[in-house]
């Protein structure tokens, strides 16, 4: 994986505060080391002995274990950056990475936010504004629109047809998201969706849109410098449980060439329309039955699944982020982006898949990952590491890359059988089961695939 940076000798960024934890903190620190940039890791008391803390050039404690008292405190992070002499902050993903207030605080305090501008984050973070941008850029959107009352929601649902989704304007990750199959379900779920949205995002507004019965979640990675934009290929993220991604791959299998080209062009049109600067992802819903696609949202940050794009492009996407934040123009043209092979990623979670996927914190008594050509592990876990109960359950990502999709799938399946993560429960067995199914082996599953599989598995076990 190359960086393709061409950083100027008079670089502005010499020290970066990494405002995150876990595997993404480790991932960012390693690229900073490669670039000769000093890293300062902001840690909570729960992460003082983490792998990231061991790798960083300097560590600064920003508060107690709970994220609300540490990783989500904008003022504390700004002071940590200024106090340690950092010129820039890398937010990773999650936490404050898509909070326009954080980017704005960096801008107002003379710090470089390694990401898009605060205005861009604000615009694409508002689902209704993002839909409006997509319309202006002539990017297809799912039929629907904003609703302020239950009566308006019922009218919209009647207009576009059932089933529908009631979605939070200001967020994602499945929170404030409800499916309604009838007017009675809209009536029952409208207030619940709004209250969940208010609690999770501080914004109770919702909108109603058409639910695609059989859809695939396809996204396009883009990189912009504020003037030019290129795409770095597409990814399929359709293996999901309750709107949370589980397995991702690049490129998306079994997409018609014409649709793939149209998806890439639509992603670039959207990004150029707002003069996007930094790394970003345009997410689309592909309607399998109609063979059409719709804009879903833009994620204005690095994605969890970025490694599969790195592996088929040979690019270091964190390095690309830093280069753009440093004021550089794109280091390549679209024609210079070359895609090679196929890459599949499994998210490794500390969770009990037999107990409603409940988190499984604890100490890792043994951690072993195979070291094979074509196999990559992004993790902050090692033998003796403590998995605290305060954060997301993801503890790593296993990525297999080969010339063909089947070779990558088979490698991943074999690697999962050799991993040892003792002391906690994980979803490794479930990943092996998914990879072995005929549907996944063929490729191109829809977003309902994993839900159906889990129901069938539970039914089969109950009948024994």
DSSP string for residues in 230-291: EEEEEEEEEEEETTEEEEEEESPTT--HHHHHHHHHHHHHHHHHTT-EEEEEEEEEEETTTT
Over the stretch 433-453, which tens digit does the pLDDT of each residue have?
999 999 999 999 999 999 999
The pLDDT of 152-174, averaged and rounded, is 88
The answer to whether 86 and 40 are in contact (CB under 8 A) is yes
Of the candidates 73, 131, 216, 301, the residue annotated as catalytic is 301
SS3 state of residue 10: coil
Position 172 scores a pLDDT of: 64
Our answer to whether residue 301 is catalytic in this structure is yes
Judge whether residue 311 has pLDDT over 70.
Answer: yes
Over the stretch 29-57, which tens digit does the pLDDT of each residue have?
999 999 999 999 999 999 999 999 999 99
Position 4 scores a pLDDT of: 47
| Whole-number Cα distances in Å, 329 to 7, 33, 279 | 10, 22, 13
Length of the chain: 464
Report CA dihedral (165, 169, 170, 173) to the nearest 10 degrees. 10
**pTM for the model:** 0.91
Position 290 scores a pLDDT of: 84
SS3 state of residue 7: coil
Average pLDDT, the chain: 94
Over the stretch 232-258, which tens digit does the pLDDT of each residue have?
999 999 999 998 999 999 999 999 999
Residue 176: pLDDT band with limits 50, 70, 90: confident
Rounded CA separation 294/178 (Å): 19
Q: What residues have CB less than 8 Å from 235, skipping those under 6 apart?
A: 218, 219, 220, 221, 248, 249, 250, 251, 252, 305, 308, 309
| Whole-number Cα distances in Å, 157 to 145, 147, 183, 436 | 10, 10, 8, 39
């Amino acid at each position: 994986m190359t960086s393709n940076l061409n950083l100027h000798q008079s670089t502005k960024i010499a020290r970066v505060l990494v405002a995150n934890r876990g595997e993404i903190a480790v991932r960012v620190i390693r690229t900073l080391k490669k670039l000769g940039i000093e890293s300062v890791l902001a840690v909570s008391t729960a992460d003082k002995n983490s792998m990231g803390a061991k790798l960083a050039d300097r560590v600064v404690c920003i508060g107690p274990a709970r994220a609300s008292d540490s990783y989500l405190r904008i003022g504390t992070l700004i002071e940590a950056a200024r106090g340690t002499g950092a010129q820039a902050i890398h937010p990773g993903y999650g936490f404050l990475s898509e909070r326009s207030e954080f980017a704005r605080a960096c801008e107002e305090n003379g710090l470089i936010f390694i990401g898009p501008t605060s205005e861009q984050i604000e615009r694409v973070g508002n689902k209704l504004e993002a839909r409006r941008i997509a319309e202006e850029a002539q990017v297809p959107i799912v039929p629907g629109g904003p609703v302020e009352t239950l009566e308006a929601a019922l009218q919209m649902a009647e207009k576009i047809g059932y089933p529908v989704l009631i979605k939070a304007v200001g967020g994602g990750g499945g929170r404030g998201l409800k499916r309604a199959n009838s007017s009675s379900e809209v009536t029952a779920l409208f207030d619940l969706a709004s209250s969940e949205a208010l609690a999770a995002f501080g914004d109770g507004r919702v909108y109603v849109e058409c639910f695609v019965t059989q859809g695939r979640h396809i996204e396009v990675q883009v990189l912009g410098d504020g003037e030019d934009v290129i795409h770095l290929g597409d990814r399929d993220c359709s293996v999901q449980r309750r709107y949370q991604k589980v397995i991702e791959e690049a490129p998306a299998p079994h997409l018609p060439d014409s649709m793939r080209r149209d998806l890439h062009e639509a992603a670039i049109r959207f990004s150029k329309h707002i003069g996007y600067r930094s790394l970003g992802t345009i997410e689309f819903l592909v309607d399998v039955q109609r063979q059409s696609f719709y804009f879903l949202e833009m994620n204005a940050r690095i994605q969890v699944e970025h490694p599969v794009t790195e592996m088929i492009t040979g690019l270091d996407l964190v390095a690309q982020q830093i280069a753009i934040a440093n004021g550089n123009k794109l280091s390549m043209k679209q024609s210079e982006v070359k895609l090679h092979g196929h890459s599949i990623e499994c998210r490794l979670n500390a969770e009990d898949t037999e107990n409603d996927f409940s988190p499984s914190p604890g100490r890792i008594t043994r951690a072993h990952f195979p070291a094979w050509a074509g196999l990559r592990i992004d993790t902050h876990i090692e033998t003796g590491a403590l998995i605290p109960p305060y954060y997301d359950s993801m503890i790593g990502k296993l990525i297999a890359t080969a010339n063909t999709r089947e070779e990558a799938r088979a490698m991943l399946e074999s690697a999962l059988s050799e991993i040892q993560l003792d002391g906690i429960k994980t979803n490794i067995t479930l990943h092996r089961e998914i990879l072995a199914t005929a549907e996944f082996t063929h490729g191109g599953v829809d977003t309902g695939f994993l839900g159906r599989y889990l129901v069938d598995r539970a039914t089969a076990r109950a009948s024994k």
